[in-house]
Amino acid sequence: MKHFTKLAAAAALGTLLGTAAVAQELYTPNLAYRTGPFAATGIPLMNGQADYMALLNERDGGVGGVLINAEECETGYSTEKGVECYEKTKGTAIVTQPWSTGITLQVLPKTNVDEIPILAPGYGFSPMADGKVFQWAFNMPAGYWDAADMIVQYLEGEGGSLSGKKIAFLHLDHPFGKEPLPVLEMHAANKGFELLPIPVGLKEMQNQSAQWLQIRRERPDYVVMWGWGAMNAGAITEAVKTKFPMENFIGVWWAGHDADLKLVGEDGKGYKSISWSFPNPDAPVMKQVKEMVFDKGLSQSNEEEMQGVFYGRGLVMSAILAEAIANAQSNFGTAEIDATQLRWGLENINLTEDRIAELGMEGMVPPFSTSCANHTGHSGGWMLEWDGAKFVKASDLLTPNVDGYSELIQSSASEYATANAPWAMNEECSATN
Amino acid sequence: MLYRTAGQFKTSYVADQALFTVKQDAFLLGIILLLGWVVFPLTASEFTFQTLLIPILIYALAAMGLNILTGFAGQLSLGTGAFMGVGAYACYKMVTLFPWMNPIIAILLSGVFSAGIGVAFGVPSLRIKGFYLAIATLAAQFFLVWLFEKWSWLYNYNASGAIQVPNLEMFGVFVSGPQAASVTEYYIVLFVVTLLTLLCINLTRGNLGRTWKATRDMDIAAELIGINLMKSKLTAFAVSSYVVGVAGALYVFMWKGAAEPNVFDIPLSFQVLFIAIIGGLGSIMGNYLGAILIVGLPVVLNVVAGTQVFQMSALGAAVLVALVAAVAFLGWVARNGWTIGAVAGFAVLTLIYGYAQTQGFRIDSALIEHINVMIIGALIIFFLIIEPHGLNQLWRLIREKLIIWPFPH
């Protein structure tokens, strides 16, 4: 019984300490998915995000002297769980990070009413770039339409004019996979290449023999892939099996996961993935995370994972959020900012080369800036190439030619607003995208 | 004592056939209705509305629709998710084509479309039975979800391929979409669910319900006594799909706010089927009990596991459960092995957990999720073992015991 008393006392003390800590922290929940069918790709990203926040808490005592509470709420990539998590966390949260496209679609209209910024780095709905309409939504540093534009640019730069060529667009048959179609179709019409969309159903992700048979028959010059989760590994192994030339196979940034390529190793050499992040092993922040978080046992990650593209991307995502928090803190003169103030911070991010170096993240993210009208930043990215063991940069910084589809962004955004009328917009914003 | 029936005499056949033959049942229902209509709306938080009250009601309604078909008429269906989808897409098309339409009317009408589709896919039931019929409904499941993906007219040619619920007004109040208050949505769901429950109770007790039950119990015998099997089976498909379709419309319009086609895929069908089975096939109340267990309990467990109070009370619970388990073990060890096993297992787990907590072991949300899944799975097995006929039967047994209490027979 004495033992039990001791245990009870310890539990009570823990509770007291826990409650005391609640008062001074910034709550930035992450709707993580470490379980379910997409867990393999989720875990490195979540670890990167969590470790960067842990680094800030360890090294600087949080941001502006206030600790960051980057608690995770597990969704398993299911929309129901996602909405549950959103409702559970929105009370004290200053930001919401919804992760899946399905959850983003459901949470997006709610955040506009609840007035909580939604941070969806590199995913979500491309027209979110229009900050005047989507005043609470941010998908910096780059959106899917930027990715599609950069891939087309890269292909032109490599193989000359695309006129008369054939590009197969292998995509998940899901809102996420259909996202870049408008921009790709626009380029196909302007540049005279043939676009061949090949959908992969959610149930066929692991068995794409039918799709690859079609690719073999059609003999496209390039295959562009918008895949996620198990679909990427399926496509890459199938491409190797059908001996598709890997150097003509390009994926979006979510299709550049080291583990998927390690399955095929040397055979995957030449596979490319556009990316707005790069895991620069020489960047100081990587060393600091290793020393101050990993070595202290505060991380759930492992050495191998920490070298990967997705882990590095997780670090960048948290760095963007921390930068926004710091911005808001210095502008409003208070350390404990609220959701509205954080929105200002997110709208006024200016990550220059110097600032990125200051954060110790050289070469990990391209410079970009946001404004009240531009919630994406359109940072551009690098083409990464699998060299048989890891991803390396295969191009200089590519920047999207946003002028080509800025009208599309605006018309899609206003279409969304009309469909969801009454939709609160940012009327004060006078900047242009 | 609470259920004393002494003095409640039935003096006519009508009284003997009444919905509530025991006064206390009506009283209990009154309390539940009071809770649902007055107490919950006044006290619930946004979180409770969105994650417990509204989804439990909607899932219970969907399970009730399925129960009409599977539980009462004996026709196994694996296409519930797709029929919910038909209701949702029909409602979406109606409110976008005719924006002046009253949202509640639209929701109630959307069931008509799913009823039509349901009857069409129910036609094979005239020739095939059992597992073969299940496969025919499975075909409906795959075909309809495929149709939701490919037929862009259904989602108004949205680039994302998903349907997004617009803000709909009724008498100047937003009833659906992001602008709607949760309490308004809750009342609409509650109104529709109450209405359809009333309908289902009366249908299953009436002439139609009896022909369904006769078809279920033995279709040849039913045919011999003059029941038209075609009529019986097809009406079951129609009523069932109607209720399921309305549940689907509520599911998207009053709760989710947006849906992509794969939301209506087979996992949804299974979830609804499990609710119906756990709750009890061939019952109305069981659907609610099943929905509370399968939809509500995981949310509650998640919340409880995350709170500070729990971390403290885990220890108290551990001690308590250990004591209970010890007493139970001494008392009924020979008589009731299963109960003992479950209680002892739970006690051991709680003890381990309490111990780990005090040793500074932090439980993260992914682990909570894993444990949650295990607990729900264990509970489903537990309930099915102690009462294979579902929670409804469990309640009926408890009620019988209460009526004759304190006498054992």
A182 touches chain B (CB under 8 A): yes
Q: Which residue of B has its CA nearest to A5?
A: B315
One domain, residues B252 and B308: no
Structure tokens at A280: 């620069």
With CB atoms and an 8 Å threshold, state whether B161 touches A88: no
What stretches in chain B show pLDDT beneath 70?
Answer: 1, 305-343, 350, 353-364
| Same fold flag, A25-143+279-380+403-419 and A145-275 | yes
Q: What is the mean pLDDT of residues A394-398?
A: 90
With CB atoms and an 8 Å threshold, state whether A419 touches B178: no
Contacts of A101 in chain B (CB under 8 A): 160
Q: Domains in chain B: how many in total?
A: 2
One domain, residues B275 and B357: no
H-helix or E-strand spanning residue A166: strand A166-172
Report the C-alpha gap between A106 and B44 in whole angstroms.
22
Report the C-alpha gap between A296 and A399 in whole angstroms.
39
With CB atoms and an 8 Å threshold, state whether B366 touches A35: yes
Q: Which residue of B has its CA nearest to A183?
A: B159
Report the C-alpha gap between B166 and B258 in whole angstroms.
9
With CB atoms and an 8 Å threshold, state whether A74 touches B47: no
One domain, residues B209 and B265: yes
The C-alpha of A100 sits at a distance from chain B's nearest C-alpha, in angstroms, of 12
> Could you give the residue ranges of the DSSP H alpha helices within B227-307?
229-250, 266-279, 285-291, 297-306
B265 touches chain A (CB under 8 A): yes
CB-count exposure of residue A341 (10 Å: 0-12, 13-18, 19+): buried
With CB atoms and an 8 Å threshold, state whether B312 touches A18: no
Segments of B98-193 assigned E as strands: 163-164, 168-170, 173-176
B388 touches chain A (CB under 8 A): no
The C-alpha of A206 sits at a distance from chain B's nearest C-alpha, in angstroms, of 17
- pLDDT-derived band at A14 (thresholds 50, 70, 90) equals very low
Q: What is the mean pLDDT of residues A29-36?
A: 88
B51 touches chain A (CB under 8 A): yes
The range of the structural domain enclosing residue B313 comes to: 302-404
A171 touches chain B (CB under 8 A): no
| Neighbouring C-beta atoms of residue A140, cutoff 10 Å | 28
Helix axes B337-358, A2-22, angle to 10 degrees: 60
Structure tokens at B100: 């002046």
Residue at B22 is within a domain = no
Residue at B20 is within a domain = no
Identify which of B372, B382, B208 has the alpha carbon closest to the alpha carbon of residue B306: B372
Higher pLDDT, residue A423 or B306: A423
With CB atoms and an 8 Å threshold, state whether A419 touches B166: yes
8 A C-beta contact, residue B107 and residue B192: yes
**pLDDT tens figures, A143-184:** 899 999 999 999 998 888 888 999 999 998 888 888 899 999
One domain, residues B56 and B184: yes
With CB atoms and an 8 Å threshold, state whether A15 touches B311: yes
One domain, residues B281 and B363: no
With CB atoms and an 8 Å threshold, state whether A87 touches B50: yes
Q: What is the mean pLDDT of residues A358-372?
A: 90
The C-alpha of B368 sits at a distance from chain A's nearest C-alpha, in angstroms, of 8
Q: Quote the DSSP letter at residue A424.
A: -
Domain positions in chain A are 25-143+279-380+403-419, 145-275
Contacts of A27 in chain B (CB under 8 A): none
**DSSP per-residue codes, A264-333:** TGGGGTT-EEEES----TTSHHHHHIIIIIITTT--S--HHHHTSHHHHHHHHHHHHHHHHHHHHHHHHT
Residue A354 CA, chain-centre distance (Å), reads 23
Q: How many CA atoms lie within 13 A of B130 on its CB side?
A: 4
User: What pLDDT is recorded for position B186?
Assistant: 92
Contacts of B177 in chain A (CB under 8 A): 109, 420
Residue at B128 is within a domain = yes
Last-in-domain residue among B256, B271, B293: B293
One domain, residues B150 and B232: yes
User: What pLDDT is recorded for position A274?
Assistant: 93
Residue A3 CA, chain-centre distance (Å), reads 48
> How is domain A25-143+279-380+403-419 classified at the CATH fold level?
Rossmann fold (3.40.50)
Residue at B273 is within a domain = yes
8 A C-beta contact, residue A432 and residue A371: no
* CB neighbour list of residue B55: distance below 8 Å, 6 or more residues apart: A80, B255, B291, B295, B296
Average pLDDT value for chain A:
86
Nearest Cβ partner for B365 among A15, A74, A106: A74
Nearest Cβ partner for A175 among B166, B260, B364: B260
Contacts of B50 in chain A (CB under 8 A): 83-84, 87
With CB atoms and an 8 Å threshold, state whether A7 touches B355: yes
Residue A238 has pLDDT above 70, yes or no: yes
CATH ID of A145-275, from 3.40.50.620, 1.20.120.1200, 3.60.21.70, 3.40.50.2300: 3.40.50.2300
One domain, residues B212 and B146: yes
Last-in-domain residue among B242, B258, B293: B293
Name residues 264-283 of chain A within 8 A of B (Cβ).
Answer: none
Contacts of B263 in chain A (CB under 8 A): 79, 102
With CB atoms and an 8 Å threshold, state whether A73 touches B365: yes
For residue A327, give the amino acid letter.
N
Residue A365 has pLDDT above 50, yes or no: yes
Name residues 311-340 of chain A within 8 A of B (Cβ).
Answer: none
Contacts of B355 in chain A (CB under 8 A): 7
Residue at B281 is within a domain = yes
The C-alpha of B311 sits at a distance from chain A's nearest C-alpha, in angstroms, of 7
> pTM for the complete prediction?
0.81
Residue at B35 is within a domain = no
Residue at B190 is within a domain = yes
With CB atoms and an 8 Å threshold, state whether A105 touches B55: no
Helix/strand/coil for B160: coil
With CB atoms and an 8 Å threshold, state whether B365 touches A419: no
Mutate which: B168, B265, B312, B362, vs A, most A CBs within 10 A: B312
> What is the sign of the dihedral through the CA atoms of A335, A113, A42 and A370?
negative
One domain, residues B287 and B353: no
With CB atoms and an 8 Å threshold, state whether A35 touches B358: no
One domain, residues B279 and B307: no
Residue A115 has pLDDT above 80, yes or no: yes
Helix axes B182-205, B207-217, angle to 10 degrees: 70
One domain, residues B285 and B314: no
Higher pLDDT, residue A111 or B62: B62
CATH code for the domain in which residue B245 is found: 1.10.3470
The C-alpha of A310 sits at a distance from chain B's nearest C-alpha, in angstroms, of 19
Residue appearing with tokens 């583990």: A259
User: What pLDDT is recorded for position B331?
Assistant: 58
One domain, residues B106 and B178: yes
B314 touches chain A (CB under 8 A): yes
> Could you give the residue ranges of the DSSP H alpha helices within B151-254?
182-205, 207-217, 219-224, 229-250
B26 touches chain A (CB under 8 A): no
One domain, residues B321 and B286: no
Residue at B360 is within a domain = yes
Identify which of B160, B161, B181, B159 has the alpha carbon closest to the alpha carbon of residue B170: B181
User: What pLDDT is recorded for position B82?
Assistant: 94
